[in-house]
A and B are shown apart, each in its own frame.
Chain A
Amino acid sequence: MPLYKGLGIGLGTDAHTIVLDLGEAYSKLGFAGEDQPRMVIPTTIETIDCATAIKFTSTIFQVVQSLTYSKTFFDKVFYKHLQVNPKLQRVIICESLLNPTKIREAVATVLFQHFEVPSIFFAPHHLLACFTIAVNTALVLDCSYRETLVIPVIENTPVLWGWQAAPLGAASIHHSIMDEILDKGKIQLEHNPATPVTQRLSDKVLEDIKVKACFVSEYERAKKIQSAKWSKEPIEEILQQKEMVYPLDGVTRLIIPSSIRENAAEVLFEQDNDQVSVATLVLDSLLNCPIDSRKELARNLLVTGGTSMLPGFRHRLLFELKELVQHEERYNSKLSECEFRVHNPPIHANLVGWLGASIFATLEAFQRKSITKEYFNQHNGKLPDWCATDITPPNEAILPPFKVKPRLSLPSAGTKRIKSESHHTKSES
């Protein structure tokens, strides 16, 4: 049986390309050309004491330690969940454009040297997301675990100078849930009287409370909540329940105020001291874009990332955008003509990047542009990147000099007309 292996599944067939989207909280694993990932697993590895989270996207990153951790993690990915031999499969990794080079290189080192994969392709999340909605120009907002990142994509080219990011995401929602529980929550052990919560709850419990109970309230109501926060005036209750009981385990119960449900997600939309919220990120990003593309971008808003799946998120975002453009001086003068429309991708928001990678990996351009093991070794373990000027990406090295393409454009979706335009927009700004 194993003797014949490798004959059928050659490198030429793209059906078994491994598609990975390594998120901060959850990793999506699957194969190219499929409509959904095979598995979505937490990006953690288990040790004897507890589940230790390994992070691919955080900036605090100890490379040495993470090499052992990522070996264990990818062991789990390839052998347990995907059940393939990584030596025979190409890999595409969907990542944020702001992912530190050290992390990409660490991941590439583990995959090439330890798992001996034939080739890897690192693709920007925001560009891949556009593949799922079949448009060339979109303003992509990724609201993930730790941060919200907005990058405009114009004619299949991520416009990096338009990026806007803020540490608003699932982590900040968990934080505000925890704060409110520490403030007002109580713990009850069997029939004993309830006592105030003194210890922090685990992230898992907070996440569970968030996905089961929390939602993003509508704009007008949210404004009342925000003003009540400062004036300490009580607001009228819509929620039909004062307190809710969350079962922590068989004997302990957590009694928490229902107001958590609508207050927790407010952290994404109330502007902080720098006047930054998820909505202002979108508008600030638009202001950085070329004037002639702004209307088009505003019409093609694409919201991705797991945190954006909270009920009411998209409605609130559009409402905020409308109100900000109407009433705030900094946007009113420049963006008043924009009409905001949000896309409806064919898959849940947390999987949009993965699906884009799955579509892209079926194309031949993916094979051409992939970084092979030989290329990686030739360049002493360095990867081509938009911020690295000393390495030429594999495809451009082969092309004759008169045919240099814009660096971040993937050629697959472009026709002749589109390409000439993309040069145009780039040179103008």
Chain B
Amino acid sequence: MASLLQVDRVQYVFDVDTQDSQSLSRLYFCIYCLGLRSSHNLLHEDDSHFCPQALDSLASAEAVSRKNKCSNSWRCPACLHTLSTRATSTISPPTTDSNKPTVKTVYYQSCTFCRWSTRSVGIDDKEVANDAWMEKENPSLPRINKLLEYYKYLEHKEKVEQARKSPIKKELMSVTMQLKQKYTSSKHSPGKKSMFGDSLSGALSSLRLKDVSSLKDVSIDASSTLALDDVEKLNTDVYKPVQFTAMTSTAQRLDQPGNQIIECSDLAPRRSQMFMKQSLRCKICDHNIIKPEYSPTSIKFKIHLIALNHIPDIRISKPSTLRAGERCQFVLSITNPTEHVIHATFLPMEETKHEINAKIELPTCDIVVGKFDDAAEFVDQLTSTNNTDDASIIAFRRGNKVGFYVHCTPDPALSPGDNVWVGMRFKHEHYGSAPLALLLKGGEVEKEPEPNWLTHSVFINLGKIQSSLE
């Protein structure tokens, strides 16, 4: 889709200092400070974590402790697609209690995308729809926990020894001790235990370093080493013909970093990963630019200031063949997304860091772009044509979209296959923000909005230089 519409051909500058530019469809527009923003220069905030399959929602702290994994939804270990639970009934053989065979409902998981299922790898069907599935634990988890404990102990021991040696720290410790005695005892009224004093002394003693004697000794054996005779030799199985489809790919192996499975027959369902709902905030004015609704079932936004809804979109409407040093004609289109008629003025590009390798001749007069109208597509096209347009500038006019001619001369030094970039600025009035900003704040809408004039720098990739033979 993105490459079909070629949205990356026209780049809007969102950072004046660094001249960083991006396609308008990826940019946001801050209606408070009237500037284009990109996700690179906005403040990210995580709102909530959610699972799009099970529609669970979690606060971020809880999600971190659950390793961002959903407890109800599983995904395929082979293709990482979501697994769906399938129910089927089995007939169990007659038991001693009843002579009739009983029909039971059992569940298994299967992937609708790659047809992998828990049955295909020989995992037994479960009698409960959820929860009965388990994820494999890292087999060396106890050893790693031991390592963590050991290094913490070493550090603590070293710290205690250092504190004992250094005179400065001893003094500091005694000061804290003195303070503690002074303040905790003075607040102590006889016969009545002060809650404050107790909690303070508790906090202080936990801050104090423990004595070496009270430290529990942790010892650890270095991990085992193997000599040549102990190291696993090459299994003779490797000489058998290789089945490419029976072996896991790197992506499947790395999906479970703890136990990297080599054969497809060992794959087991994995808990699916949660996603994060983020809101973005303008660094300059601290207003929210994007704010999703918290509920995982809703795909709506509370605040949704994307640039495409506010800023005229410039596209290449009709390309032409480019040859080095030859003047050629293009049709660019400008689309007005706002509910006000705008006047766009095109200006030449000033100095820029961006590579520009063609000269562009822009229309010298204003271009009037009609307002966006929901009903426009149902109105007969003929009635909306405007005969006052100069046919040498305006190529077509359709509702809120205007096509206009530009001429471009690529540098003669370019060779076939080189991308041709042109730069320009354009100025247009902007109405929407003031009433919208007021509405968001809860104020009343003024009757006659005052337009602001905005200027954008735009880089356009017109295409590649054709070879002269074509």
- Whether A associates with B in a native complex is yes
Where the two chains meet, the residues of A that have a C-beta atom closer than 8 Å to any C-beta of B are: 1-2, 5, 8-9, 16, 26, 28, 31, 33, 35-41, 48-49, 68, 71, 75, 79-80, 82-85, 114, 131-135, 207-208, 211-213, 215-218, 238-241, 244-247, 258, 261, 299-301, 309, 311-312, 314-315, 318-319, 322, 339-348, 351, 355, 359-360, 362-365, 411-416
Q: Which residue of A28, A215, A343, A365 contacts B223 across the interface (Cβ within 8 Å)?
A: A343
B442 at the interface (CB under 8 A from A): no
Q: Is the CB of B161 within 8 A of A416?
A: yes
A237 to chain B, nearest CB (A): 9
Q: How far, in whole Å, are A317 and B258 apart by their CA atoms in the complex?
A: 25
Q: Which 7 pairs from chain A and chain B are nearest by CB?
A: A241-B241, A341-B225, A346-B140, A40-B254, A36-B258, A312-B234, A133-B223
Which residues of B lie under 8 Å from residue A71 when comparing CB positions?
Answer: 40
Q: Is the CB of A347 within 8 A of B228?
A: no
Q: How far, in whole Å, are A80 and B278 apart by their CA atoms in the complex?
A: 10
8 A-B pairs whose Cβ atoms sit less than 8 Å apart in the complex: A35-B138, A35-B141, A134-B223, A315-B228, A315-B233, A318-B231, A346-B143, A412-B154
A368 to chain B, nearest CB (A): 11
B80 to chain A, nearest CB (A): 12
Q: Which residue of A16, A217, A412 contacts B64 across the interface (Cβ within 8 Å)?
A: A16
Which residues of B lie under 8 Å from residue A80 when comparing CB positions?
Answer: 276
Q: Is the CB of B151 within 8 A of A315?
A: no
Q: Is the CB of B225 within 8 A of A342?
A: yes
Q: A40-B257, A244-B241, A311-B234 are in contact. List 11 more A-B contacts (CB 8 A).
A: A35-B140, A35-B258, A37-B257, A79-B44, A85-B44, A215-B238, A218-B234, A241-B241, A241-B242, A411-B155, A415-B157
B261 to chain A, nearest CB (A): 11
Q: Is the CB of B225 within 8 A of A343?
A: yes
Where the two chains meet, the residues of B that have a C-beta atom closer than 8 Å to any C-beta of A are: 2-3, 8, 20, 39-40, 44-49, 59-61, 63-64, 67-68, 138, 140-141, 143-145, 147-148, 150-152, 154-155, 157-159, 161, 220-228, 231-235, 238-242, 244-245, 247, 249-250, 253-254, 257-258, 260, 274-276, 278-279, 294
Q: Which residue of B151, B221, B240 contacts A131 across the interface (Cβ within 8 Å)?
A: B151
Q: How far, in whole Å, are A246 and B250 apart by their CA atoms in the complex?
A: 16
Which residues of A lie under 8 Å from residue B49 when comparing CB positions?
Answer: 83
Q: Is the CB of B244 within 8 A of A318?
A: no
Q: How far, in whole Å, are A343 and B279 apart by their CA atoms in the complex?
A: 47
Chain B, residue nearest A349 (CB): B260
Q: Which residue of A41, A261, A314 contacts B242 across the interface (Cβ within 8 Å)?
A: A261
Which residues of A lie under 8 Å from residue B250 when comparing CB positions?
Answer: 207-208, 211
Which residues of B lie under 8 Å from residue A322 when comparing CB positions?
Answer: 228
Q: Is the CB of B239 within 8 A of A38?
A: no
Q: Which residue of A83, A211, A212, A364 contacts B68 across the interface (Cβ within 8 Å)?
A: A83
Q: Is the CB of B60 within 8 A of A5?
A: yes
Q: Is the CB of A85 within 8 A of B227?
A: no
A325 to chain B, nearest CB (A): 12
Q: Is the CB of B241 within 8 A of A83?
A: no
Q: How far, in whole Å, are A80 and B274 apart by their CA atoms in the complex?
A: 9
Q: Is the CB of B151 within 8 A of A363?
A: yes
B145 to chain A, nearest CB (A): 7
Q: Is the CB of B154 within 8 A of A413?
A: yes
| Known A75-B39, A83-B68; contact A132-B228, beta-carbon cutoff 8 A | no
Q: How far, in whole Å, are A48 and B152 apart by their CA atoms in the complex?
A: 47
Q: How far, in whole Å, are A408 and B80 apart by their CA atoms in the complex?
A: 42
Chain A, residue nearest B240 (CB): A240
Q: Is the CB of A85 within 8 A of B150?
A: no
Q: Which residue of B48, B242, B260, B278 contacts A212 across the interface (Cβ within 8 Å)?
A: B242
Chain B, residue nearest A68 (CB): B20
Chain B, residue nearest A243 (CB): B241
| Known A1-B59, A240-B239; contact A79-B276, beta-carbon cutoff 8 A | yes
B242 to chain A, nearest CB (A): 5
Q: How far, in whole Å, are A346 and B223 apart by their CA atoms in the complex?
A: 8
Q: Which residue of A84, A215, A415 contacts B154 across the interface (Cβ within 8 Å)?
A: A415
Chain A, residue nearest B40 (CB): A71
Which residues of B lie under 8 Å from residue A240 when comparing CB positions?
Answer: 239-241
Q: Is the CB of A346 within 8 A of B278?
A: no
| Known A240-B239, A311-B235, A344-B226; contact A48-B244, beta-carbon cutoff 8 A | no
Which residues of B lie under 8 Å from residue A345 when comparing CB positions?
Answer: 223
Q: Is the CB of A216 within 8 A of B234?
A: yes
Which residues of A lie under 8 Å from residue B260 when comparing CB positions?
Answer: 309, 348
Q: Which residue of B59, B140, B150, B242 contacts A244 across the interface (Cβ within 8 Å)?
A: B242
Which residues of B lie under 8 Å from residue A301 when comparing CB positions?
Answer: 225
Q: Is the CB of A362 within 8 A of B44?
A: no
Q: How far, in whole Å, are A75 and B274 apart by their CA atoms in the complex?
A: 17
Q: Which residue of A26, A48, A212, A413 contacts B249 across the interface (Cβ within 8 Å)?
A: A212
Q: How far, in whole Å, are A132 and B148 apart by their CA atoms in the complex?
A: 9
Q: Is the CB of B294 within 8 A of A299?
A: no
Q: How far, in whole Å, are A131 and B250 apart by their CA atoms in the complex?
A: 26
Chain B, residue nearest A345 (CB): B223
B404 to chain A, nearest CB (A): 27
| Known A213-B244, A412-B151; contact A339-B257, beta-carbon cutoff 8 A | no
Chain B, residue nearest A41 (CB): B254
Q: Is the CB of B239 within 8 A of A83?
A: no
Chain B, residue nearest A344 (CB): B224
Q: Is the CB of A28 within 8 A of B152?
A: no
Which residues of A lie under 8 Å from residue B143 when comparing CB positions?
Answer: 346
B411 to chain A, nearest CB (A): 23
Q: Is the CB of A359 within 8 A of B148?
A: yes
A197 to chain B, nearest CB (A): 17
Which residues of B lie under 8 Å from residue A207 when comparing CB positions?
Answer: 250
| Known A344-B226, A362-B148; contact A2-B45, beta-carbon cutoff 8 A | yes
B266 to chain A, nearest CB (A): 15
| Known A26-B254, A240-B239; contact A365-B225, beta-carbon cutoff 8 A | no
Which residues of A lie under 8 Å from residue B225 when comparing CB positions?
Answer: 299-301, 341-344
A309 to chain B, nearest CB (A): 8
Q: How far, in whole Å, are A314 and B230 apart by their CA atoms in the complex?
A: 11
Q: Is the CB of B144 within 8 A of A346?
A: yes
Which residues of A lie under 8 Å from residue B253 when comparing CB positions?
Answer: 211
A306 to chain B, nearest CB (A): 9
Q: How far, in whole Å, are A171 and B242 apart by their CA atoms in the complex?
A: 22
B139 to chain A, nearest CB (A): 9
Q: Is the CB of A35 within 8 A of B278?
A: no
Which residues of B lie under 8 Å from residue A261 when comparing CB positions?
Answer: 238, 242
Q: Which residue of A85, A133, A363 contacts B222 across the interface (Cβ within 8 Å)?
A: A133
| Known A75-B39, A84-B46, A364-B155; contact A48-B2, beta-carbon cutoff 8 A | yes
Q: Is the CB of A413 within 8 A of B46?
A: no
B301 to chain A, nearest CB (A): 15
Q: Is the CB of B138 within 8 A of A36?
A: yes
Q: How far, in whole Å, are A215 and B240 apart by their CA atoms in the complex?
A: 12
A242 to chain B, nearest CB (A): 10
Which residues of B lie under 8 Å from residue A343 when comparing CB positions?
Answer: 223-226
Q: Which residue of A8, A311, A416 contacts B238 across the interface (Cβ within 8 Å)?
A: A311
Q: How far, in whole Å, are A156 and B234 apart by their CA atoms in the complex?
A: 33
A298 to chain B, nearest CB (A): 10
Chain A, residue nearest B252 (CB): A211
Q: Is the CB of B233 within 8 A of A312?
A: yes
Q: Which residue of A1, A39, A134, A315 contacts B232 across the interface (Cβ within 8 Å)?
A: A315
Q: Is the CB of B140 within 8 A of A347?
A: yes
Which residues of A lie under 8 Å from residue B249 when comparing CB positions?
Answer: 208, 211-212
Q: How far, in whole Å, are A131 and B144 apart by their CA atoms in the complex?
A: 10
Q: Is the CB of A244 within 8 A of B244?
A: yes
Chain A, residue nearest B249 (CB): A208
Chain B, residue nearest A342 (CB): B226
